[in-house]
Amino acid sequence: MKLTEIKALLEQKLLAMPGVLPTAFENVPFKPPDGPYQACYHLINSPVDHAMTMDMTEERGILQLTVRYPEGKGRQQADAMIDQVKAHFRPHQVINGSNFRIELTKTPSASSGVPDEGRWCIPVSIYWRAFQS
């Protein structure tokens, strides 16, 4: 189980969401459109070793999205997109990889919106953990 594989599966799940916004991924060239888009980041937490034999490791992290809508047009569209993201990543879900599984066991959380560079931005955190299968 590699972090690159975990990240790829989470990004695939995000891109499979109906009505997904154009997405800026980490360290990939992206030209923001005039309309709404989202930025995607991976926040990796320290792994947890389970069992006396230390042969089971739990990787953990947060898929961090920031939904970015043009500023000054109200918050309703951005809030609706947050609701859609939360529904798409609702618990309990399992995403199967080649030799591991990712578990979504907690409801995603959204923070308050803030203005930034002419955009109304709302961060949403999607919590995950992964185990070898």
- SS3 per-residue string spanning 8-74: HHHHHHHHCCCCCCCEECCCCCCCCCCCCEEEEEEEECCCEEECCCCCEEEEEEEEEEEEEEECCCC
* Cβ–Cβ < 8 Å for 110, 82: yes
* 111 domain-assigned: no
Other Cβ atoms less than 10 A from the Cβ of 68: the count is 25
Query: Residue 78 belongs to what domain range?
Result: 3-15+36-101+117-132
* 80 domain-assigned: yes
* 125 domain-assigned: yes
What is the rounded CA–CA span in Å between residue 47 and residue 45?
Answer: 6
Per-residue pLDDT reduced to its tens digit, 13-25: 999 999 999 999 9
* 87 domain-assigned: yes
* 122 domain-assigned: yes
Token pair 């609701």: residue:
83
* 57 domain-assigned: yes
What confidence tier does 87 reach under pLDDT thresholds 50, 70, 90? very high
Q: What is the pLDDT of residue 54?
A: 65
Furthest C-alpha separation in the chain: 56
User: Among candidates 28, 20, 12, 21, which has minimal Cα distance to 102?
Assistant: 12
* 121 domain-assigned: yes
* 76 domain-assigned: yes
Per-residue pLDDT reduced to its tens digit, 99-130: 999 999 899 999 999 999 999 999 999 999 99
Q: What is the pLDDT of residue 53?
A: 67
Per-residue pLDDT reduced to its tens digit, 45-79: 988 877 666 677 889 999 999 999 999 988 899 99
pTM for the model: 0.91
